[in-house]
Structure 1
Amino acid sequence: MTDTRDRRIAVLDAAAKTKSLNKTRDADQAIRRLVKRNEPITFQAVQREAGVSHAFLYNHADLRQRIENLRARHTPIAATPADSDNTLVITLTRQIADLKKQHHQQLQDLRKVLERAHGENLDLRRELTRRGTTPT
């Protein structure tokens, strides 16, 4: 039983590392796209573009430093009030769409985790039954 538990832990650990590497790659690519489009590099812009959380960006020192350096270099162009209103509407609409997308992805991820937990629970119950112990 310990071997099974150790294997599960190893699999989960590997999955977490892969997920972190993928998020780091996504954030890096998002920064490159924003730079290419000459858009301001901010934590919010990178978060929105990459589909990662603010916490993820702040907790990764390399990404955080890179964003802060690029943000300091960017000089915004003054906009007219009408442009500001349009930009605000577009930005908020994008943010809502991105949040909906993130929410949908989080729900899918949670459903997968719950499904795995139910499977593990069933395996453990079967093991208890096999050993002659009844689950409570």
Structure 2
Amino acid sequence: MTPLPDHLQQATRARSQGAEKRARTALAELAKAGKPVSFTAVARQAGVSTDFLYRSPELRNQIERYRTKAGSAPAALSDPPGDSSTSAAVRALSARLTRQQQVHHEEVARLRKALEVAQGENLDLRRRLARYEAD
């Protein structure tokens, strides 16, 4: 693979530096406002990808430090206390969706079979018609 021309390398470097600066600003604003700091929150506010934040060792360390300092990492992973009805509702809706998908798959299979039969009958009728027209 050939190296990029100098002007493209400079543009790439400038774009990365701008993204890093926006991420640092977003991180500082979130921390100052007392909002939960997470990779997703910083990425959303800075307009960068979470992948960019994870790949930048310095930004990653800063975000992880703020997360552990604020204790927001465990809270983000678990359900809010007293909100078991939400997870039960999600499980119920998920089960319902699974059943609906199964019904739809069966219906599609039935319709495909019917279509195959109809196409076979159509082909048979066309062949018969071709024999009568040839006479």
Q: What SS does structure 1 have at the residue aligned with 2:5? A: helix
1:73 CA displacement: 0.9
Q: Is it true that 1:33 corresponds to 2:29 in the alignment?
A: yes
Residue 67 of structure 2 is aligned to residue 71 of structure 1:
yes
Match of 1:57 in 2: 53
Aligned to 2:17: 21
Structure 2 residue identity aligned to 1:51: G
TM norm structure 1: 0.50
Match of 1:116 in 2: none
- SS in structure 2 of the partner of residue 73 of structure 1: helix
Query: What is the distance in 2 between the residues matched to 1:15 and 1:38?
Result: 35
Q: Which runs of 4+ in 1 moved over 3 A?
A: 75-81
Match of 2:88 in 1: none
Deviations 1:75-130 (CA, angstroms, capped at 9, x unpaired): 4597886xxxxxxxxxxxxxxxxxxxxxxxxxxxxxxxxxxxxxxxxxxxxxxxxx
Amino acid at match of 1:63: L
Q: 1:80 to 1:32 in 2, by over 3 A?
A: farther
Identity of aligned residues (%): 32
Q: Which runs of 5+ in 1 are unaligned?
A: 1-5, 82-136
Shift, 1:36, TM fit: 1.1
Q: Determine the structure 1 residue equivalent to 2:39.
A: 43
Provide the C-alpha distance between the structure 1 equivalents of 2:81 and 2:28, rounded to a whole number of angstroms: 24
When Rg is computed on C-alpha atoms for both structures, the one with the higher figure is 2
Q: What is the RMSD computed on CA atoms of the aligned residues?
A: 2.5
Q: Which residue of 2 aligns with 1:87?
A: none
User: What's the CA shift string for 1:23-58, capped at 9, x where partnerless?
Assistant: 000000000110111001100000011000011000
